[in-house]
Structure 1
Amino acid sequence: MRQLVEEEGWQWSIESWLLSGVPLEYFSQHTDPVVKKLYGKMQRLNVEEALQKVMGGKFGHIIFRNYMNVILAAHHTDARGHTPFYVGKEGLSIFASFGWGFR
């Protein structure tokens, strides 16, 4: 995140459906100046709008890595497995875990 906010002229977005609950609490209540700046300038775009801006350069989209990998594989990857997008390797752990309970 530090690289994102320190780069000159970069912008970023997140999907509205993601910016609720725990992620909203994380970004809106965090005390780190980097996270505050990221949240303060965050645009709300759907994934396709965001990817169009990413293709234009100097734009990043914050989303779950596995979700993005599915979108890219399904709609933005050629037969040889090439995609014009880069998905970061480092992530941000907001949730402690996911679980399902059933009988």
Structure 2
Amino acid sequence: MTTKKLQEMIMHMPGLNLPERSEYVAWAQLVQLTSIQSDEIGELVDLGWISPKKTGSEEYLFRLRDVYRIHKLMRLVHDLEVSVYGGSIIVDLMERIEELEKEVVELKRLI
């Protein structure tokens, strides 16, 4: 799913109180979009794996990037039966590999 499609889907969710072009989703929308349990989100926040922003009314807002990361995490947890902690490490390593691959492509372009 592309970022644009995800934003479109989020903007049509009932009860959404965010600006039209927001890069953030509220806690309830994150739960709905990722099918993750609220206590698991709390664990990920406590681990520092996702870092939501707090609003003035003490509500959490999560980046769209977090939605993608949690989707990857939950697939690993369910498909490979790894723990949330183990899955979070795997997702971090996968992202690091992607960054390094982009860097290699850029360096090859400069040669």
TM-score by length of 1: 0.24
Q: Larger % of helix: which?
A: 2
Higher relative contact order (CA 8 A, sep 6+): 1
TM-score by length of 2: 0.23
Say which one has the larger Rg: 2
